Structure 1
């Protein structure tokens, strides 16, 4: 028989009839009327082609076929109940669940040190796996539940996903303390455009808005170096007279380790909003809800709008 054509709710009635052997007892237990239980049994008989239960003075007696079904039905319902109980009883202090997060490399540098430290205290058994947001299968992996949460400035996830704004940040110029321009409290537009720069492509993100702002003013920077990500940027800047235009929260993590300084940009560049994104299939999962609330508490700005429905 094709199980897709069977109303699985009928199997709950079947299971309890096996246990209690009386329609009245099953009706009371399930909050149904006796006629509704009898109707459910009638539909199940028609679907399975067997009487299943015979009325006797001792109650409803199962047929041989019903007895054959008894154990596998009980095991299946018990397994489903346990799965639902686990879902409803997520406890971060005892959970050993693993979550997969998608981030850019700059997101890894900003989020992970704080997140791992906080998880060690609040959820010591919870583990994380991090993947790149630049992978082509990001949307499909999130829809399939292989990725739980994506974090960052990710224009490709604006449509069709739940999202929560964590914070807004603006862009600054980053350079080493010994840079000729580091002694000036304010960068002029001339000095900025005449300096040598590092360009970070950061594909899959919206961090290219500085280039857009400069192009609108018909200004161009001289790029001595172009890199695909932020990983080596601190080392590069600390050993050269190059300037990089980066998100300020990333810059703040690099100042002390690499002896760098930050300066305000001499042009107007729109701030960026950093979000966490998730698929609707995980929206009501208690473990996932806890993870989102946890990251929001760590990184979120309460002044920003919180949750938007998929569009």
Structure 2
């Protein structure tokens, strides 16, 4: 999974495992830099969870968990928390951008480029994990997946609103290899993930 996935999924999975299966160990791997499908076939990876549009094929099963949009996040009391966030105000703000070609959540990069945000951004980071720490102590704003904002906003004192740009939605799925479709441990883990995180179609 990605760093966004670790922030969103792992706290809940750690709690569920402690309650239901205290002997279970879960190790996460950051997506990118290896052949995920081959690792899943070899049994080195049990599940892949994320917005992996390029992860497909007859050897893989997948189940939809949820779809999410992007939101613009900033510290509580920021000037953008008052009034409507117009495109003009959005462009005039000081932006933090997350720039990582390996991240499945970087699909909005070209759209931010087109809007002139990336070129004028004050700072950029390659991962989402540092984002709440940076935004909570500055006047920077950042556009991130909604699930990350929902997790980060309460503990970091942040707010988020819909951005004034048309951005694509992200679909997050859980994937597993056909070889392990009947494996009891794999079945248990993916069922736990689905029961806790799958959202009903709207």
Separation in 2 of the partners of 1:272 and 1:112? 19
Which of these residues, 91, 97, 106, is aligned with residue 193 of structure 1? 91
Q: CA deviation at 1:108?
A: 0.4
Separation in 2 of the partners of 1:261 and 1:278? 35
Higher relative contact order (CA 8 A, sep 6+): 2
TM-score (norm 1): 0.60
Task: Confirm whether residue 176 of structure 1 aligns to residue 75 of structure 2.
Answer: yes
Structure 1 range deviating more: 258-267 or 128-137:
128-137
Unmatched runs of 5 consecutive residues or more in structure 1: 1-102, 305-311
Match of 1:112 in 2: 10
Match of 1:10 in 2: none
Q: CA deviation at 1:293?
A: 0.9
Match of 2:56 in 1: 158
Separation in 2 of the partners of 1:204 and 1:283? 28
Separation in 2 of the partners of 1:204 and 1:271? 18
Structure 1 range deviating more: 139-148 or 295-304:
295-304
Separation in 2 of the partners of 1:275 and 1:282? 17
Residues 106 and 202 (structure 1), Cα distance of their counterparts in 2 relative to 1, 3 Å cut: farther
Match of 1:256 in 2: 154
SS in 1 for 2:121: strand
Separation in 2 of the partners of 1:197 and 1:150? 31
Q: CA deviation at 1:159?
A: 3.5
Q: Which has the higher helix share?
A: 1
Unmatched runs of 5 consecutive residues or more in structure 2: none
Q: CA deviation at 1:214?
A: 4.5
Separation in 2 of the partners of 1:110 and 1:202? 19
Separation in 2 of the partners of 1:210 and 1:192? 15
Match of 1:13 in 2: none
Task: Confirm whether residue 149 of structure 1 aligns to residue 47 of structure 2.
Answer: yes
Contact 1:153 1:205 in 2 (8 A): no
Match of 2:183 in 1: 285
Higher gyration radius (CA)? 1
Contact 1:172 1:264 in 2 (8 A): yes
Match of 2:142 in 1: 244
TM-score (norm 2): 0.91
Q: Number of residue pairs matched? A: 199
Separation in 2 of the partners of 1:295 and 1:243? 31
Give the root-mean-square deviation of aligned CA atoms. 1.7
Separation in 1 of the partners of 2:57 and 2:197? 23
Contact 1:150 1:277 in 2 (8 A): yes
SS in 1 for 2:168: coil
Residues 109 and 204 (structure 1), Cα distance of their counterparts in 2 relative to 1, 3 Å cut: same
